[in-house]
Amino acid sequence: MVDSKIPEPGPAKLKRNAGPDEWLEAAKDCKYLSEQHMKQLCEIVKEYMMEESNIQPVSTPVTVCGDIHGQFYDLLELFRVSGGMPDGSEAEAPKTQSAVITSDDIEPPSTISDPKLRKKLRNASAPEEGGEDSSASQRDRSSSSGSRDVELKRNFVFLGDYVDRGYFSLETLTLLLCLKAKYPDRVTLVRGNHESRQITQVYGFYEECFQKYGNASVWKACCQVFDFMTLGAIIDGRVLCVHGGLSPEIRTLDQVRVVARAQEIPHEGAFCDLVWSDPDDVETWAVSPRGAGWLFGDEVADEFCHVNDLTLIARAHQLVNEGYKYHFANQNVVTVWSAPNYCYRCGNLASVCEIGDDLKPTFKLFSAVSDDQRHVPVSRPGRSEYFL
């Protein structure tokens, strides 16, 4: 039985002259907008994105979020764990037990052997027992992350893959676009490999839009927004955020800045590599089993960070059972994964990466909300078994 307080999905019932404020409130309640309003929203967001660089500068404090994949109710939990949405509304306590991991807990190359850390991970996926005490403890930990985070409003960087596979891709994307429309300087939406016409026609988003609107016009409008999403973000000039990884065609950030991004993702080349590549245990470059992008090794990451004066490359794109994972001995690449219990069956944790002015990442782990905290569509289209 689903808790009666949980937002119930369905079409938004708004007046024709409703605007961004009303759209955002409806989106928070898992409502999808009318065709007219959704097209208006896409136009507003597109205008903001046109003004952004291929590598959008972002100032600390920042919360970096990985793949979401249409898991709307877990996105709400992500915001609860992060201290609330950018609109400044009072944050609810997380519905799941969460854990905070700092750089002091991490052992290169992200092998989790410390029993205290393993206990943190177990607790993050365990049912909450402490009630109010647990929530208070979480608030205490969050408030101790630094006075500057309290004084300044936190920015959000989302690393792509907002749609496909989950039950509510449309509602998930709508909420993120509404936040972008309302707070364009505080929400950065990086393009992932699923923000693509070809991929969304295979993995669910196209079908979902057609099912809810009876035509493909909203899907087409969303795909036009995808074309203008930034390819990356850079935090205080030192932490690069991309969806996938590096490219043999890119040595400097300036080369990324001149890529023509207002297009469908190409099948090869620098643009393709940024959204498809993965770090791996290779020295330099290797062919990717995905059929797009490359596998890149520690030598590549070390040189790229040195040339561009980076301390870290934060990326998503790969399921990580522990919620996040550092790669390579120098820990200069980290994967952030924000879809807990991916595809509602993988049993993995999720995380967000919080970066303050000291540029030291702190990870907040969380698990999927329980069945009584989410709705499931009565009839849902099948999902492909392939993991991209």
Give dist(CA 82, CA 147) in Å, integer.
16
Written as six digits, the tokens of 371 are 């069945």
Q: What is the DSSP letter of 129?
A: -
Give dist(CA 71, CA 87) in Å, integer.
21
DSSP string, 65-100: E-B-TT-HHHHHHHHHHTTS-TT-PPPPPPSS--EE
Q: Which of 283, 316, 14, 313 is nearest to 162 (CA)?
A: 316
Q: Give yes or no for a cis peptide into 279 (omega within 30° of 0).
A: no
Give dist(CA 387, CA 278) in Å, integer.
14
Hey, which residues are catalytic here? 194
DSSP string, 9-69: PEE----TT--HHHHHHHHHTTEEPPHHHHHHHHHHHHHHHHTS-SEEEEPSSEEEE-B-T
